Chains A and B, each alone.
Chain A
Amino acid sequence: AQTVTQSQPEMSVQEAETVTLSCTYDTSENNYYLFWYKQPPSRQMILVIRQEAYKQQNATENRFSVNFQKAAKSFSLKISDSQLGDTAMYFCAFMRASGAGSYQLTFGKGTKLSVIP
């Protein structure tokens, strides 16, 4: 079974600054995907960024980038130029990529990020 750990229950950042959210995971799989989802107060779950484990290059989506360290099983999210709209819960998630059986997303407990004006 896979586990995902987010060690920072809450974080805050000043508007326009940079913040990094941590995520570690445990798996015996070699092929998998990692995701960061954002859940604003509206409750909607929104995909922020996705990383394929076989890719060495870190994924980037505008102000969002990841630092993927496969050997260390670490997958952190960096938010640059933080905006008030980035205030939300952020969930790290794991999904296996091959083999039979379930392809569920396994989520961490989340990090509550507050962007301060």
Chain B
Amino acid sequence: DAGVIQSPRHEVTEMGQEVTLRCKPISGHNSLFWYRQTMMRGLELLIYFNNNVPIDDSGMPEDRFSAKMPNASFSTLKIQPSEPRDSAVYFCASSLGRSTEAFFGQGTRLTVV
């Protein structure tokens, strides 16, 4: 298995632009997580899906952030409009069932200038 695949690996965009991050979880996994990593705040959960349904989105910073999981093999995290403070590494992770190991993608390093 190729593991969790995220794209792009790096994204540089101008303030105000829309940014879409993509994730393909491991086949067969039914839980998907989006995390954001910054020096100041560490790793924070943004949103958690179970069987394609958002279960916990309390970590989504504000209305500028939205996430979708249209099917079991694809998820997106969208930021519109982007701001410099959104600059971070965004990780997608997936797991099989509850309380099992979460496998992480390589992350997307987002820079908003």
Count residues on chain A whose CB falls below 8 Å from chain B CBs: 23
Contact B48 A103 (CB under 8 A): yes
Contact A104 B45 (CB under 8 A): yes
What's the interface size class on B, roughly?
20 to 34
- Per-residue CB contact flags for chain B residues 23-41 toward chain A (1 = under 8 Å, else 0) read 0000000010100000000
The yes or no answer to A16 lying at the interface (CB within 8 A) is no
Contact A109 B42 (CB under 8 A): yes
Contact B104 A103 (CB under 8 A): no
Contact A104 B106 (CB under 8 A): no
Contact B98 A97 (CB under 8 A): yes
Contact A105 B102 (CB under 8 A): yes
Bound complex: CA A95 to CA B19 (Å): 30
Select one of A45, A50, A95, A106 contacting B91, CB under 8 A.
Answer: A45
The yes or no answer to A75 lying at the interface (CB within 8 A) is no
Contact B42 A43 (CB under 8 A): no
Which B residues, 61 to 90, have Cβ-Cβ distances below 8 Å to chain A? Answer: 89
Considering the complex, give the chain A residue whose CB is closest to the CB of B33: A104
| Chain B proximity of A90: nearest CB distance (Å) | 12
Chain A residues in 8 Å Cβ range of B101: 35, 47, 50
- Per-residue CB contact flags for chain B residues 43-68 toward chain A (1 = under 8 Å, else 0) read 10100101000011000000000000
Select one of B45, B89, B107, B109 contacting A105, CB under 8 A.
Answer: B45
The yes or no answer to A62 lying at the interface (CB within 8 A) is no
A residues contacting B by CB (< 8 A) are 33, 35, 42-47, 50, 91, 95-97, 101-110
Ranked 6 nearest A-B pairs via Cβ: A102-B56, A45-B104, A107-B43, A104-B45, A109-B42, A97-B99
B residues contacting A by CB (< 8 A) are 31, 33, 42-43, 45, 48, 50, 55-56, 89, 91, 93, 98-99, 101-104, 106-107, 109
